[in-house]
Structure 1
Amino acid sequence: MQVNIAKKAAGEKAAAYIQPGMTVGLGTGSTAYYTILRIGELVRGGMALQAVATSADSEQLAREQQIPLVPFAEVQGIDLDIDGADEADEQLRLIKGGGGALLREKIIAAAAGEMLVVIDESKLVKQLGRFPLPVEVIPFAWELTFKQLAAIGAAPVRREQEGQPFITDNGNYILDCHYRQIRDAAVVETQLNSIPGVVENGLFLHYAVKLIIGYADGTVKEIIRHGPARRSF
């Protein structure tokens, strides 16, 4: 596998914020991949930590890297969640779910004391919406949910894999919504969440506290959200 310098730089920079004894949320995607590899190096080097994964793919990679995984029933709190994004703006608003793990990713992000987001420079945008917004829906009567999304101008397309509906780790479908530009993300989020059949949407508006951007020359830039820290459980 060819190394992506920008993604590797961002992913490894995020891992530098991990402290011994932390419980860490392991994100999903091509940039979070490098974070997990680096966490594996830290663990094998003697750092004590434990982790929870946001997807089956991340869980498998964590096991390969010998990262201790803790059952959710035993989680007392998640100190730090490190995840990627399909799009991010300078206000740290995100579109996630290109890999299909948006529901689990949002559950972990909401439970974490802090969320760090790792991206390469191509994912930083002035306005969200160029990347289709994933919306996870239950399979029952999905056609009706589809019609309601179409009625609000979301331009949904059912995601498919090898000619069959893409199935999330939770057994649901994903409708990718082609807004092109999302002018008011908070309004769109409210609209989506009010439609019966919608399980979750890929807008992450108030979760990230730090955005770590990797560049092709190996440098990184950080954008920090200022204000009170979010509370987790």
Structure 2
Amino acid sequence: MSNENQNNEKLAVAEKAITFVNDGDIVGLGTGSTATLAIQQLAKLIANGLKIQAVPSSEATKALAISLGIPLLALGEASSIDISIDGADEFTANLELIKGGGGALFREKVMASLSKKSIIITDSSKRVEKLGAFKVPIEFNPNAEAYVFKALQKLSSHPVKRIKNDKVFVTDNGNCIFDTDFGLIDNPTVLASELDQIVGVLAHGIFVNLTSVILMAHGDEIISFTKK
């Protein structure tokens, strides 16, 4: 897929997603290139009179929302979110996701957990039959690095500490990330449960039972995936 076609798909699905936002909603704002397009489109609706409060899932999203004049509520102050709009690095038709390529997986997972309706928007390149071609991001406390590394190896994985711009990547929460290769994942729910039990892991990028609908742009078509 060319970059132009991919960008066109991202814009089309972003425009579709914001049609689900209603006046008075508390709206969760995701992180990443596709979510950014949705935020920009949402800002246009606000300029035309839509009244909402938005909850950002990262410091980058917070800065973007402020620059666009979107009224914000801190994630930690939100007891529930009416609708959230976010992207994904991979997804299956069963609404299983890998997220966290941008490093915001913990706050994105909190946002999804708070959301009455969680919408994931993607272009068609993100759909897979099985998760795992995209490495699973795992955010960990630096004090537990050696322990988490060994625990991940015991799960037959290959964790690699994330480096960006020749420096160790540090999340908005002051933690680090292992990008972890598990191969193709036969049972994401089981793996998610195993990762949840590792001391020192704040969050991992496997999202199961957290998504209401996935909207995928494919050419000129928007395809909707819901729980079977």
Q: TM-score, normalised by structure 1?
A: 0.92
Corresponding residue for 1:121? Answer: 124
The superposition leaves residues 134-177 of structure 1 with CA deviations (integer Å, 9 ceiling, x where unpaired) of 01000013022112111211211100112221100000000011
1:53 is aligned to 2:65 = no
Structure 2: distance between partners of 1:110 and 1:224 = 17
Structure 2, gaps ≥5 residues long? none
- Structure-2 residue corresponding to 1:93: 96
1:141 aligned counterpart, secondary structure: helix
2:190 is aligned to 187
Amino acid at match of 1:44: A
Q: Give secondary structure in 2 for the equivalent of 1:130.
A: coil
The reply to whether residue 133 of structure 1 matches residue 140 of structure 2 is no
**Alignment pair present for 1:167 and 2:165:** no
SS in structure 2 of the partner of residue 59 of structure 1? helix
2:35 matched residue in structure 1: 32
**One of 9, 13, 17 as aligned partner of 1:10:** 13
Inter-partner Cα distance in structure 1 for 2:211 and 2:31: 15
Aligned-pair identity (%): 37
Distance in 2 (CA, whole Å) between partners of 1:160 and 1:40 is 33
Distance apart, 1:218 and its partner CA: 3.4
For residues 153 and 36 of structure 1, the distance between their equivalents in structure 2, rounded to whole angstroms, comes to: 38
Are 2:113 and 1:107 aligned?
Answer: no
- Looking at secondary structure, tell me which structure has more helix per residue: 2
For 1:208, what is the secondary structure of its paired residue?
coil
Q: Please give the alpha-carbon distance, in whole angstroms, between the structure 2 residues aligned to 1:141 and 1:87.
A: 28
2 CA distance for matches of 1:74 and 1:134?
A: 26
**Aligned partners of 1:71, 1:180: CA distance in 2, in Å?**
36
Structure 2 residue aligned with 1:197: 200
Between 1:145-154 and 1:131-140, the stretch displaced more is 145-154
> RMSD of aligned C-alpha atoms?
1.6
Q: What secondary structure sits across from 1:157 in the alignment?
A: strand
AA of the residue aligned to 2:209:
H
Q: Give the 3 Å change call, closer, same or farther, for CA 196–76 of structure 1 in structure 2.
A: closer
User: What does residue 78 of structure 1 align with?
Assistant: 81
The one-letter amino acid paired with 1:22 is D
> Do residues 63 (structure 1) and 77 (structure 2) align?
no
1:21 aligns to what? 24
**Segment drifting more, 55-64 vs 86-95:** 55-64
Please say which of residues 85-94 and 135-144 is displaced more in the overlay. Answer: 135-144
Query: In 1, distance between residues paired with 2:179 and 2:55?
Result: 27
Match of 2:223 in 1: 221
Question: Is this contact kept in 1: 2:56–2:74, CA < 8 A?
Answer: no
Please tell me whether the aligned partners of residues 140 and 203 of structure 2 are also in contact (alpha carbons under 8 angstroms): yes
- 8 A contact 2:105–2:203 mirrored in 1: yes
Partner Cα distance (1:72, 1:162) in 2: 28
What TM-score results when the alignment is normalised by the length of structure 2? 0.94
Aligned length: 225
1:81-112 CA-to-partner distances (Å, cap 9, x unmatched) read 11100000000110000000000000011011
Per-residue deviation, 1:76 = 4.6
